[in-house]
């Protein structure tokens, strides 16, 4: 059944705009207040190394949690909107001998997102989200925006003028928001294609999140160079999830390879920063 592009644009624009709130919060504020859903963790302290994976009760998110539980020396938090699904995912990983912690995260609950400082999704490669993988309270923080597979495809389908604006190293967050609002307005009128936009709201939302990650990476490098925060966007590839197709060539575990690579950059790493990666390699944007 063909869906209404304007409705798709409105829905995805909401999640896109909501993701903007993520990077504005101080990551360490979240880390100092985060506790597992089942109750306080007595060992939770400011020297604990932590990885937080959003939208991780299934799909690529779950695969990332699995890989981090095996490779990461610290606490790994699995988050989900639905407590039952999240706890079921934790139980499944427990059966594999892995011990992730759980934190409930609901994008529709303002307090949930304010406490968690990340946005979540239950749809694998799904809605526009920012994945925070926070390696250490008092040291390195590595933030990765995953699930941007269609951003480069959508960018190539934009008009040359839009491509130039989205690739500009001087684009500001306000300018990016204005572009996303213009797409929404054009799509509602059915005029988005004649104004140079792709005919897919999903890919436009991914363009927005990718460019947003680059904008904030530049700001972090300029305004907080000593905070050791790296922020990148990555493409997991075409992965078999509920949102895609059983014919996709990659398994969720294979799709998790690049996000996990970015989460496990060595301490003190200074790059990549503000880049777009796939297959663990920086790609041209």
Tell whether the model's pLDDT for residue 125 goes beyond 70. no
| Structural domain range at position 162 | 5-283
Residue 138, pLDDT > 60, answer no
**pLDDT for 224:** 85
pLDDT at 115 > cutoff 80: no
Angle in degrees, CA 152, 158, 162, rounded to 5: 105
Q: At what angle do helices 5-24 and 173-188 cross, to 10 degrees?
A: 160
Give 119's contacts (C-beta < 8 A, 6+ positions apart).
Answer: 15, 18, 19, 21, 22, 54, 105, 107, 113, 129, 130
Query: Which token pair is 125?
Result: 């490669």
> Does residue 34 surpass a pLDDT of 70?
no
Residue ranges in 35-98 assigned as alpha helix (H): 59-71, 83-94
The single residue of 77, 142, 202, 261 carrying the catalytic annotation is: 202
Per-residue tokens: 92: 């499944």
Distance CA 118, CA 16 (A): 13
Of the two residues 282 and 205, the one the predictor is more confident about is 282
At 105 the pLDDT is 80
Q: The domain that contains 19 carries what CATH number? A: 3.40.50.720
Q: pTM for the whole thing?
A: 0.75
**Number of structural domains found in the chain:** 1
pLDDT at position 140: 60
Those residues whose C-beta lies under 8 Å from the C-beta of residue 167, and which sit 6 or more positions away, are 155, 285
142 is catalytic: no
pLDDT average, residue stretch 235-259: 89
DSSP state of 233: E
Q: What is d(CA 87, CA 93) in angstroms, rounded to the nearest whole number?
A: 10
């Amino acid at each position: 059944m063909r869906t209404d592009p304007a409705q798709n644009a409105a829905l995805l624009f909401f999640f896109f705009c909501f993701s903007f709130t993520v990077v504005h919060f101080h990551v360490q504020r979240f880390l100092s207040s985060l506790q597992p859903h089942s109750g306080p963790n007595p060992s939770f302290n400011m020297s604990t190394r932590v990885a937080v994976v959003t939208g991780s009760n299934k799909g690529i998110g779950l695969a990332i949690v699995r890989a981090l539980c095996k490779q990461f020396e610290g606490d790994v938090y699995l988050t989900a909107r639905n407590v039952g699904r999240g706890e079921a995912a934790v139980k499944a990983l427990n059966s594999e001998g892995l011990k992730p912690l759980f934190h409930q995260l609901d994008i529709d609950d303002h307090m949930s997102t304010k406490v968690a400082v990340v946005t979540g999704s239950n749809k694998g490669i799904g809605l526009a989200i920012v994945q925070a993988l926070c390696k250490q309270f008092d040291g390195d923080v590595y933030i990765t925006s995953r699930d941007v597979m269609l951003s480069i495809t959508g960018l190539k389908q934009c008009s040359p003028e839009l491509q130039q604006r989205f690739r500009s190293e001087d684009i500001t967050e306000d300018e990016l928001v204005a572009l996303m609002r213009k797409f929404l307005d054009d799509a509602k009128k059915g005029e988005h294609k004649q104004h140079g936009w792709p005919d897919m709201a999903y890919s436009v939302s991914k363009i927005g999140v990718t460019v947003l990650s680059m904008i904030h990476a530049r700001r972090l490098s300029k305004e907080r160079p000593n905070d050791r925060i790296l922020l990148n966007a990555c493409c997991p590839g075409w992965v078999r999830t509920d949102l895609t197709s059983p014919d996709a060539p990659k398994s969720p575990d294979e799709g998790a390879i690049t996000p996990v690579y970015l989460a496990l950059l060595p301490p003190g790493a200074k790059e990549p920063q503000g880049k777009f990666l796939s297959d663990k390699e920086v790609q041209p944007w």
